[in-house]
Structure 1
Amino acid sequence: MSKSINIGPRIILNAIFLLLVLILITPVFAEGNYNYRFGDVNEDGKIDITDVVYLFKHRNISLEDGDLNCDDKIDITDVVYLFKNYNELKKPIKYAQHMNLTYYDKNGNVVNPYEGDSWAYKIFVDATGQRFLLKNESEPIPEWAKGKYDIVINVPLKNVVVMSSTEIALMMPLNDSESVISSIKGIMWGGGYKWYFEEINRSLENGSIIDVGSTYNPNWDKIVNISPQVIFVYPGYDGDAIIEKCKELGITYVADAEYLEPTCLGRCEWVKMFAAFYNKEDVAKRYFTRVEKRSFDVKRKTYNCDPNVLVAWGENYPKWGGTYVPEAQSYVATEITDFCHASYIFSDYPGTGSATIDYETFAERAKNADVWIVPSSTTWLSTFKEDHPGYETFKAVKNGRLFCESDDYWQLGLMNTDEVLMDLGTIIHPEAFKGRTTHFFLKYNPDTNTAKPYTAE
C-alpha cells in the first residue's frame, strides 16, 4: 500500500518535468524547409491536427518552420496558435482576398493541390466575374461543370499577351522550364520600359516577344496577328478600355486584381493564379512558401524593437493635385506596422488604397518622422527639392534617414516580396539587421538626386 502511495507523486513529477523540457527546448536558428508549407511542421504534405501534436512534442526545429506566431521563439503558444489556425493555414489561397480559384477532381469534388491532392479541373473567376474552366487538352468537359463556367481554356497556355510588368513579376518565379516566359508573344510597353528581367530583354531583342504598344494605345493589329489564347489585363485604369476592345474583337482576356490586395503576401499570392494557367502548382507552392516563411523572419527580427519608430511614406506631386500617401489598411502601411513593428504617420486614415492630401498636412506629420520613404526612384525625383518645400528641416532628413526606391522596385520587388520586407525592416530598425545592405530601399541624397544602398550598423 505504501508503495502505491509513493509512486503516484513520482509519476506526476516526472510528467511535469517532461512537459517543462518540451516547453523549454531551444529552437534551431536555421533556414526553414521550403518544400513544406507554413504550418506543415511534421512535413507530411498536409496541415492538420497531427502537426499540432508534432509541434507539442518537437520544438528543436527551425524558427521559420516552428515559430508560427512569429514572436521569435518556439514554445507552447505556437502549439496553441497552430491548433486554432491549422484549418486556415491549409487553405490553397490564404492571403489573396480577391482571388477566386477552385480545384476539382474528375468527379467534381473540391480538392487542394497545395495539400498534395490530385486535380483534374480548375475554375477561376477573374476580376470581372468571368468564369474559366481550366483543363488539360486531353480531358473532356465534365457534365458536373455545366453552369459553373463561361469559357473553357486548355492549359498550360502557350500563346499570351501581357499588359503589365507586375504580371511578368508573378510569372517569372514559375519559369523553371522556361515554358512560362516562352508563352509570352506580346507585351505592352515592351519598348517603353527598361526591363530588369533578362529573359524579357533577350526575348524582345530576338523577336520572340514583340512590343504591342502602350496600355493606353495598344497596337491591335499586332495583337490580332499574334492571335493569343488570352490577354492578361488589369481592370481599371487603361485596362477597362483594353477589356472593351477585347470584347469587340472576340479576344479572350483574363483580368487579375493583384494590385487591389491589402497585404503584401496577398499581392504575391496571385502567383497561384498564373500557376493555375500553366499547371505550375508545385513550383508556386515552393516559391510562395519561401516568400511567406522569409517574410515572417522580418516579424521575428523586429518583434522586440521599439514600436514607436515613426515612419512617413509619401511624395508630393504638385502637378497632379497633392501628396499621395498609403491608407492605414493598405499593404504598404501593414508592411510598416505589422511586419516591421513600427508606427505609421497616417494610421488614422482608414482604407486599403491611397489618399491624396495637401502637402501642408503631409509635412506637418512627416517632419517629426524618424524615417521618410519617398516611393519613387531617382529617375523621377529631379524636382524633389522644389516639390517638398521645407524638407531640409524634417527630422529624418537631418538624421540621414531619407530613403527612396530602387529603379527595379516595381518589377523585381513584387517577385521578391520577402527581400523588400527585409529591406524595409533594415532601414526602420537597423539595430536588428546589423551588417545587412539594402537593395530595394536606398539612402537618398536630395542635393545630388542620387541614392545608394544602405548598410545597417
Structure 2
Amino acid sequence: MKIKIIQNKYNHIFTILILSFFSLPWGCHPRQDRDKSAEELIPNSSVAINYAEGFRIEHFNEFTKVTINNPWTKDNKPYAVYYLYKEDSTGMDAGDEGIKLKIPISSLVVNSFSYFEFLYLLNEQHSIKGVTDGFRIYNSAILQKIESGEIIDLGDPFKPNIEKTMALRPQAVINSAYAQVDRYSEQLIRAGFPVISSLEWMEKSPLARAEWIKLIAAFFDKEVLGDSIFNDMEKRYLAIKEKVKSVSKQYAVLPGDNFQGTWYIPGGQSFNASLFRDAQLDYRYKNNSATGSIGLDIESILTQFGNAEFWFGCDAGTYGELVEKDAKYLLLESVKKRHVYNNRNRVTPSGGNDYFESAVANPDLVLSDLIKAAYPEQLLGYRFTYIKPLEEIPAREK
C-alpha cells in the first residue's frame, strides 16, 4: 500500500510576506512609543471568535487591531497585522508594526472566489474593482460588470497583471496565501497597497471557514452585521447537523478523485473531514492528524474505500466518463450502487462553479447536500445545491 502525506497544493507559503510588511511606504507603520505602559496596550474589547483559529480582532480607543495568525509556525508570530482607524488624526502609538488602513474601505481587488459571497452578504459587492480568472467566475452580477468594464479581469490568479492592479488604485487587495513565494503580493506591498491575506481555507471546520466573514466585515466597519450574519449561518448549520445525530447506520464515504496518478483525500483534521463527521458519514481517515491532503494510488483507494457506499467530489459528469478514465472505477461499491456525486450542480459554460464561491458562506447547504444524498428521509423537501449525481450515460464507443 502506497501512502504519502502531503500538504494541500496551496499550503506552500513562507513568512517572507511578513518581512515585507515592515518596509511599507506611505507611512503604513504605527510608530512605537517606548514610554507607553503595558496597561495602555490592553484592548478594550475583543470580537468573540467561536470556531476560527486563523485570526483575532481587538478594539482599542482609537483603532481596531486585526491579526492574522501564522498556521505554519508555532512561535506565535503573526502572519499579518492591520491597524484600522476611522479618523485621519488618529495617533496610533501601539507597540507593534503592521499595516495602517483607514476604514471603511470602498475599493478592492479580490483574488479569491470564496470572498464574493461574503462581500455580497455584507452589501459590499460594489467595492470590487478587479478580479482574477474572470471566465471561471459563477456570480452573474460580477460577470456582467466584467463585461461592461466596471470590474477588470487581472488574469491568472497565480500571476495577476501587476500593472493593471496598481492602475486600479484599490484601497486593499484580498489575496490567498497560496504560493511559496508570492511575487504579486510582494510587489503590491512594496508599492504601498495593503494586502489582506486570505487563509480561511486552512481552517478545520466549515463553521470556522464561514466565521472569516467577521474578519472582512471589520475592514468595512461592519462588525455588528458580520457577527449577525455568522450567527445565522451557525444556527442553520447546527439545526441541519441535529437532524442526523440519531441515524441508526453511518455510511462509509469516499472523497476526492484521481489527479495525474494520485488520488487526493482530505486529512482527518481538515474541514472536509469535519463535514463528514457532522453528516454522520464514516470516513476512514477521520482519526488522521493531517490538516492538508493525503495522496493515495488507485490500488490503495480500491483496497481502503472499495466498499464505501458513497463517493463525493468525483471529477466526472457521467458513469461513462468514469469508465473512459479508468475501468478500475467499476470495482468501487459506490459506482456499482450509483451513489457517485460531483460538485457541478451550479456551473457556467465557461467553467464557473458556485461550489468554489458561495459554499464557504453557506456551510448549512453543503452539509444538507451530503445528508440529502446519504439520508434523504431526513431532508424530504430539500434539493441539492452544489452536488449532483452522475448521469447514466454509457462510455463512448472507440
Asked if 1:368 corresponds to 2:307, the answer is yes
Task: Pick closer, same or farther for the CA change 1:198–1:95 going to 2, 3 Å.
Answer: same
Residues 1:394 and 2:332 are matched in the alignment: yes
Say which is worse superposed, 427-436 or 360-369, in terms of deviation.
Answer: 427-436
Question: 1:240: Cα distance to partner?
Answer: 1.9
Q: Go from structure 1 to structure 2 and tell me whether the alpha carbon gap of 1:368 and 1:232 turns closer, same or farther (over 3 Å shift).
A: same
Give the drift of 1:436: 2.2
Residue of structure 1 equivalent to 2:241: 299
How far did residue 375 of structure 1 move? 4.7
Pick aligned residue for 2:357 from 395, 401, 411: 411
| Residue from 96, 102, 111 that aligns with 2:58 | 102
Q: Deviation of residue 332 (structure 1)?
A: 0.6
Q: Which amino acid aligns with 1:228?
A: P
Q: Which moved more, 1:357-366 or 1:344-353?
A: 344-353
Cα pair distance change 1:164/1:135, threshold 3 Å: same
1:415 deviates by: 2.2
- In the comparison of the two structures, how many residue pairs are matched? 334
The corresponding residue for 1:135 is: 85
Aligned to 1:186: 130
Q: Distance in 2 between matches of 1:303 and 1:423?
A: 16
Given the alignment, which residue of 443, 447, 450 partners 2:389? 443
- After superposition, the C-alpha distances for 1:266-310 in whole angstroms (9 at most, x for unaligned) are 111111111000112222122111110111112211011034311
Does the 8 A contact of 1:133 with 1:149 survive in 2?
no
* Unaligned segments of structure 1, at least 5 residues: 1-89, 107-119, 450-457
| CA distance in structure 2 between the aligned counterparts of 1:336 and 1:350, rounded to whole angstroms | 15
Equivalent residue letter for 1:412: S
Q: Which residue of structure 2 aligns with residue 172 of structure 1?
A: 120
- Which structure: greater helix fraction? 1
Higher relative contact order (CA 8 A, sep 6+): 2
Secondary structure of the residue aligned to 1:169 is helix
The alpha-carbon distance between structure 1 residues 199 and 174, as it changes in their structure 2 partners (threshold 3 A), is same
- After the TM superposition, which of the residue ranges 339-348 and 155-164 deviates more from structure 2? 339-348
Equivalent residue for 2:227, pick from 263, 273, 285: 285
Among the aligned pairs, what percent are the same residue?
Answer: 26
Is 162-171 or 369-378 further displaced after alignment? 369-378
Q: Which amino acid aligns with 2:56?
A: N
- Distance in 2 separating the partners of 1:377 and 1:415: 25
Q: C-alpha displacement at 1:238, in angstroms? A: 7.5
Paired residues of 1:96 and 1:267 also in contact (CA < 8 A) = yes
* Mapped partners of 2:257, 2:248: distance in 1: 25
The aligned counterpart of 1:33 is none
State the SS of the aligned residue for 2:193. coil
Residue identity opposite 1:292 in structure 2: E
Name the residue aligned to 2:290: 351
1:200-215 to structure 2, matched below 5 A, reads 200-215=142-157
* Paired amino acid for 2:263: T
Amino acid in structure 2 at the alignment position of 1:344: Y
SS at match of 1:437: coil
**Match in the other structure for 1:454:** none
Residues 73-92 of structure 1 aligned to structure 2 (within 5 Å): 92=48
8 Å contact kept, 1:133–1:150: yes
* Aligned counterpart, 1:232: 174
> What is the Cα-based RMSD across aligned positions, in Å?
2.4
Instruction: Please tell me whether residue 153 in structure 1 is matched to residue 138 in structure 2.
Output: no
Question: Please, which of 394, 419, 430 is the counterpart of residue 376 of structure 2?
Answer: 430
The DSSP-based 3-state class of the residue aligned with 2:243 is: helix
Counterpart code for 2:235:
K
Equivalent position amino acid for 2:329 in 1: Y
Displacement of 1:345 in angstroms is 2.5
Among candidates 237, 242, 260, match of residue 202 of structure 2:
260
Q: Which runs of 4+ in 1 moved over 4 A?
A: none
SS class of match (1:275): helix
Report 1:7-156 matches (<5 A): 92-104=48-60, 106=61, 121-126=63-68, 129-137=79-87, 140-143=90-93, 146-156=94-104
- CA deviations over 1:166-192 (Å, ceiling 9, x no partner): 1223222111xxxx22221111112x3
Cα deviation digits, residues 369-399 of structure 1 (max 9, x gap): 11111254649x9953343432223222222
Q: Secondary structure at the match of 2:268?
A: coil
2: CA distance between counterparts of 1:307 and 1:138?
61
Give the residue type in structure 1 aligned to 2:224. D
